[in-house]
């Protein structure tokens, strides 16, 4: 098939692409690819909750739509949580194997411990391997990212070739020597690719993202100048970064301790499989840190996002049983700030500074490089593949829209389909389009995480002491913005008598009216709609009763 042919192969059934997560947000990556009697699922990711989702541990996509297909395989592109975190939740909907590279499957395996026979469904694949699933042939292609063993997936379907990039950047000097498979990507482009599904995360960054090796100089400076202990916070999956730190520690005659469950587990898995080389005599246990002089130790730890229960935030407030910060220590944040975590990270940095340690982060020294391709790398992928249709994936809507504009400039012959979660993209002889909407949303997974309480509680307590608390609870459709159920009202410390009970009966109707009078943008933005409900209800109580209760709307998106 070539790009000049009909939209799909002659006589082929329509191709359907259904993103259930990852289009319109960072995380929850999940995509159904279906053609004829074959359907597969690409990735099964989670998203971590915003601070206001109290007690929620993880967020996964709404899985209802999976019941409409017989999913014959789950295909994983790599081992980050936003691609594998929901595997255990998705597995009951998958009637077949789970394919992934050896490292990806090793990271998935602990998540399946409680599921009977789940491990027997794991099938390891390597780049250039091909497997058959129903009428599809899947080929796995090496790409570079911020961790080892990442692949793109080329799916040969009856309608044509669908290429899913996974997360990628173009690292010309990868630490493990495993390069992006340019040759095969170009070959597929020459043969004809029907649809390219391309990572959009860093489209707003000009130029190229750079190699993982680019951080070595910044770390060398730290190792050369640090008088005390070096503590480095990173994502537990940043195995390339771990390797760089281990090699420098060996060079500078320092011992390395992994501190925090995530980095301990991942370093053990990666070492066992040969993706992490720990030089002889370098590693010590976290409990041995206190037995070595500060200038001889490096700690690699979790907590780069300020998560309250992770290692670094506990170290920063002197609450860790093995690691205490001292005056000459250097604490390095070697990870990007995930949007929404800025305040938590800032608090940890302030606590570190109070201990007398030096704080180093990306704005001060080059200690982090992104794992996602910037604009020029994404253009290069488009130029190599030259697809007939292009669907931007992985990113908030503005990233998807920008990637769409860039793609139109790169290849005038490529038609761009801009979609969001729940859009069913159909490709047949009439072309490619969003044919319909299907149920898509979020499922909140409850956990036992506990968070910090801010200083603003004092102000709220004064307010509560006066007129109590009114909590209107409303469920709003994530995409439609419609009220899903009659709003509920909970009160605490609010005097109930004949007059106030009459007022409370009016509240659900007022809340519903406030939502109905809002625009679709307001209704689908929890922050805006909460503020509108709060202002309307406070005005209502003040006018009708002279009371000023604290109104705390809870808006649940479903």
Residue 199 annotated among the catalytic residues of the structure: yes
Residues whose CB is less than 8 angstroms from the CB of residue 217 and which lie 6 or more positions away in sequence, other chains included: 366
Residue reference for tokens 């009970």? 501
For residue 444, what are the CA distances in angstroms to 48, 93, 254, 447, 471? 10, 18, 43, 9, 20
Per-residue confidence (pLDDT) for residue 450, from 0 to 100? 31
Least confident span in 34-48, 118-132, 377-391, 444-458: 444-458
> Does residue 367 or residue 549 have the better pLDDT?
367
DSSP letters along 424-492, please? EEEEETTEEEEEEE----EEEEE--------TTHHHHHHHHHHH-EEEEEEEE-TTT--B-S--EEEEE
| Beta partners for residue 547, in sequence order | none
pLDDT(530) > 80: yes
Q: Walk across the sheet containing 71-75 and list its strands.
A: 122-124, 98-100, 71-75, 38-42, 30-35, 15-21, 423-428, 431-437
Instruction: Give the Cα separation of 203 and 102 in Å (integer).
Output: 29
pLDDT above 90: residue 417: yes
**Cα dist from 476 to 479, 531, 557, whole Å:** 9, 15, 5
CATH 3.60.15.10-classified regions of the chain? 15-207+370-444
First to last CA, the chain: 41
- Looking at the domain that runs over 462-557, which CATH code has it been given? 3.10.20.580
pTM (2 d.p.): 0.80
- Residue 328 tokens read as 């000459």
List 329's β-bridge partners, or say none.
none
Selected residue with higher pLDDT from 452 and 48: 48
Which numeric CATH code is attached to 212-360? 3.40.50.10710
* CA-derived radius of gyration, the chain: 26
Q: Which among 80, 351, 372, 394 is annotated as catalytic?
A: 372
pLDDT above 80 for 183? yes
Grouping H, G, I as helix, E, B as strand and the rest as coil, residue 354 is: helix
Residue 256 is encoded by which pair of tokens?
A: 């390395």
Structural fold of domain 15-207+370-444? Metallo-beta-lactamase; Chain A (3.60.15)
- Residue 463: predicted pLDDT: 60
Which residue among 43, 171, 199, 329 is the active-site one? 199
Crossing angle, helix 375-385 and helix 397-410, to 10 degrees?
50
CATH 3.40.50.10710 positions along the chain are 212-360
Q: What is the pLDDT of residue 478?
A: 73
Q: Where in the chain is the domain with CATH 3.10.20.580?
A: 462-557
Residue 455 has pLDDT above 50, yes or no: no
The count of C-alpha atoms lying within 13 angstroms of the C-alpha of 524, restricted to the half-sphere facing its C-beta, is 10
pLDDT tier at 442 (50, 70, 90 boundaries)? Answer: confident
pLDDT higher at 131 or 3:
131
Q: Give Cβ neighbours of residue 259 (< 8 Å, ≥ 6 apart).
A: 286, 289, 299, 300, 301, 302, 311, 315, 320, 322, 323
Distance, in Å, from the CA atom of 54 to the CA atom of 120, rounded to the nearest integer, reads 36
Q: Rounded to whole angstroms, how far apart are CA atoms 533 and 555? A: 10
372 is catalytic: yes
For residue 107, which of 164, 45, 51, 183 has the smallest C-alpha distance? 45
45-49, 58-62, 237-241: range with highest mean pLDDT: 237-241
Residue 503: the pLDDT is 83
Lowest-pLDDT range of 248-252, 262-266, 349-353, 507-511: 507-511
Q: pLDDT tens digits, residue range 357-405?
A: 999 999 899 999 999 999 999 999 999 999 999 999 999 999 999 999 9
- pLDDT tens-place string over residues 50-103: 765 655 678 899 999 999 999 999 999 999 999 999 999 999 999 999 999 999
Average pLDDT over the chain reads 89
Mean pLDDT, to the nearest integer, of 322-328? 94
Convert the pLDDT of each residue in 491-509 to its tens digit.
877 777 777 788 888 888 8
Buried b (16+ CB within 10 A) or exposed e, 357-388: bbbbbbeebebbbbbbbbbebbbbbbebbbbb
Alpha helices in 226-260 (DSSP H): 239-251
Q: What was the pLDDT predicted at 527? A: 72
Within 8 A by CB and 6+ apart from 489, the residues are 470, 471, 472, 473, 504, 507, 508
> Which of 385-389, 478-482, 546-550 comes out lowest in average pLDDT?
478-482
């Amino acid at each position: 098939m070539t790009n000049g042919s009909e939209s799909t192969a002659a006589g082929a059934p329509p191709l359907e692409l259904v993103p259930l997560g990852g289009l319109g947000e960072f995380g929850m990556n999940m995509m159904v690819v279906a053609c004829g009697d074959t359907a597969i699922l690409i990735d099964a990711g989670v998203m971590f909750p915003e601070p206001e989702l109290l007690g929620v541990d993880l967020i996964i996509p709404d899985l209802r739509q999976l019941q409409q297909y017989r999913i014959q395989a789950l295909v994983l592109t790599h081992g980050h949580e936003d691609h594998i975190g929901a595997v255990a939740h998705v597995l009951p909907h998958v009637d077949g194997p789970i394919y992934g590279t050896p490292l990806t499957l090793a990271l998935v395996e602990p998540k399946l411990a409680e599921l009977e026979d789940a491990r027997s469904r794991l099938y390891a694949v390597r780049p250039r391997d091909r497997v058959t699933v129903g009428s599809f042939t899947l080929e796995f292609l090496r790409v570079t990212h911020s961790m080892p063993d990442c692949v793109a997936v080329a799916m040969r379907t009856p309608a044509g070739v669908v290429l899913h990039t996974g997360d990628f950047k173009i690292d010309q000097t990868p630490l493990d020597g495993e390069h992006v498979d340019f040759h095969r990507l170009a070959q597929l482009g020459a043969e004809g690719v029907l649809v390219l599904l391309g990572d959009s995360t860093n489209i707003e960054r000009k130029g190229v993202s750079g190699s993982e090796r680019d951080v070595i100089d910044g770390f060398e400076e730290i190792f050369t100048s640090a008088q005390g202990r070096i503590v480095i916070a990173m994502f537990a999956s940043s195995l390339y970064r771990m390797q760089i730190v281990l090699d420098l520690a060996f060079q500078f005659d320092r011992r390395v301790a992994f501190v925090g469950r995530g980095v301990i587990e991942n370093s053990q898995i990666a070492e066992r499989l040969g993706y992490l080389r720990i030089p002889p005599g370098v590693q010590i246990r976290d409990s041995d840190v206190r037995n070595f002089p500060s200038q001889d130790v490096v700690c690699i730890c979790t907590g780069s996002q300020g998560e309250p229960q992770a290692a670094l935030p506990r170290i920063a407030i002197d609450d860790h049983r093995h690691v205490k910060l001292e005056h000459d220590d250097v604490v390095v944040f070697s990870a990007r700030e995930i949007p929404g975590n800025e305040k938590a990270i800032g608090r940890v940095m302030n606590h570190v500074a109070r201990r007398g340690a030096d704080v180093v982060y990306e704005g001060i020294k080059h200690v982090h490089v992104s794992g996602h391709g910037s604009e020029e790398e994404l253009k290069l992928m488009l130029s190599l593949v030259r697809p007939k249709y292009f669907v931007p994936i992985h990113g908030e809507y503005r990233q998807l829209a920008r990637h769409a504009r860039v793609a139109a400039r790169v290849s005038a012959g490529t038609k761009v389909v801009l979609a969001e979660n729940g859009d069913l993209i159909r490709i047949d002889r009439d072309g490619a389009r969003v044919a319909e909407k299907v149920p898509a949303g979020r499922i909140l997974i409850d956990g036992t995480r506990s968070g910090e309480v801010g200083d603003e509680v004092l102000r709220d307590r004064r307010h509560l002491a006066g007129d109590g608390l009114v909590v209107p609870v409303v469920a709003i459709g994530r995409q439609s913005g419609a009220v899903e159920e009659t709003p509920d009202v909970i009160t605490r410390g609010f005097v109930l008598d004949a007059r106030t009970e009459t007022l409370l009966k009016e509240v659900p109707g007022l809340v519903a009216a406030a939502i109905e009078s809002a625009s679709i943008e307001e209704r689908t933005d929890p922050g805006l709609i909460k503020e509108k409900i709060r202002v309307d209800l406070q005005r209502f109580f003040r006018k009708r009763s002279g009371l000023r209760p604290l109104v705390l709307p809870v808006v649940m998106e479903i």
